[in-house]
Amino acid sequence: MADTMGHSATATKHTSVALGFCLLALAPQIFELIWSIGTIFGWGAGRGPATVLVSHITALVAGAPAALLGAIGGETKKASSDVLLALIYSYPLFAVAILTIFMTIRSAQDYVGGIVLMALALFALWASSDLQGMRGFSFGAGTAPRMFGGLLVALGAGIALTGLLTDGPGMAHYAWRGPLFVMVSIVFFALAIRPLGVVVTAFTSFLISAMGTHETRWVEAVIVGACLTLGCALLFPYVLGLPMPMFPRFLVQ
């Protein structure tokens, strides 16, 4: 792994794309690590961060090659889920990342799009690897996901290939302001609706998402937000009869 990183750092071409793929290859592991930090504070169940870190590193560095050698040698010892993740998901993506450095990418839009789809499909293949396959001629739970997963890997590769062979647009420009504030607003809504109720949540979420553009005029936004909140508070629970908390829990009690 360290070798890969070093390689892409020295190469002048497509370094950022290759680095992005490397990050993508480790994304599930990093995500689980961040997620596991929560267990320190007692949120959620699962492995602690230390266990996660050690387990994934051993899987990536030692476990997977060992399992690979074992498979060639004919051993049928069952590999752990972390090792399988490294084998099915991370290694192929590392390979792609290394290959990327030597490629001439003619349409970055297609190439990156295809590779990311491939990554999603590989991830799905890993996620369904513990499911039962075909039993005789009846489908197991894992047959269809594996079938479609395999198909998507091929299609993703195909799209990436067209990105290499035909000219096309490069990477599009991503804005950060709109996505960020709209997402924050959505997440705030999801977390606050139960404890704080419709009135507070809808109004606050409105103002947060209004931050998504620099054109917002605040007086106007506050007035419209208040009217909208009032409308929602009347429409959803009363007119439509949907059960929804109205006011913050601590005020009602």
Partner 1 sequence: MFDLFHNLGLGFGVVFQISWWSPWWLYGASLPISINILMCLIGALVGTLVGVLPGIGTVATVAMLLPITFGLPPVGALIMLAGIYYGAQYGGSTTSILVNIPGEATSVVTAIDGHAMAKQGRAGPALAIAAIGSFFAGCVATVLIAVLGAPLTKLALAFGPAEYFSLMVLGLIFAVVLAKGSVLKAIAMIVFGLLLSMVGSDIETGASRMAFNIPELADGLGFATVAMGVFGFAEIIRNLDAGAEMNRDLVQQKITGLMPTRKDLIDSAPAILRGTVLGSILGILPGGGAVIASFASYTLEKKIAKNPSRFGRGAIEGVAAPESANNAAAQTSFIPLLTLGIPPNAVMALMVGAMTIHGIVPGPQVMQKQPELVWGMIASMWIGNLMLIIINLPLVGIWVRLLRVPYRLMFPSIVIFCAIGIYSVNNAPVDVILAGVFGLVGYWLIKHDFEPAPLLLGMVLGPLMEENLRRALLISRGDWTVFLTRPLSAVLLAIAAFLLVLTVLPFLRAKRDEVFTESES
219 is an interface residue for partner 1 by CB under 8 A? no
Check if the beta carbon of residue 192 is closer than 8 Å to that of residue 249.
Answer: no
Q: Is the Cβ–Cβ distance between 91 and 64 less than 8 Å? A: yes
Residue number, 6 or 231, with CB nearest to partner 1: 231
Q: Side-chain half-sphere of 175: how many Cα atoms within 13 Å?
A: 9
Of 185, 196, 197, 200, the one binding partner 1 (CB under 8 A) is 185
Q: Transcribe 166-226 into DSSP letters.
A: S----PPPPPSHHHHHHHHHHHHHHHHHHHHHHHHHHHHHHHHHHTTSTT--HHHHHHHHH
Q: Does 178 bind partner 1 (CB under 8 A)?
A: yes
Task: State which of positions 153-172 bind partner 1 (CB under 8 A).
Answer: 155-156, 158-159, 162, 169, 172
* Contacts of partner 1 in 78-137 (CB under 8 A): 109-110, 112-114, 116-117, 120-121, 124, 127-128, 131-132, 136-137
159-179: burial string, b at 16+ Cβ within 10 Å, e else: bbeebeeeeeeeeeeeeeeee
> Is residue 215 within the footprint of partner 1 (CB under 8 A)?
yes
Residue from the set 40, 141, 234, 251 that interacts with partner 1 by CB under 8 A: 141
Options 33, 98, 152, 226; binder of partner 1; rule CB under 8 A: 152
DSSP 138: B
CB of 91: closest distance to partner 1 in angstroms? 20
Binding flag, residue 193, partner 1 (CB under 8 A) = yes
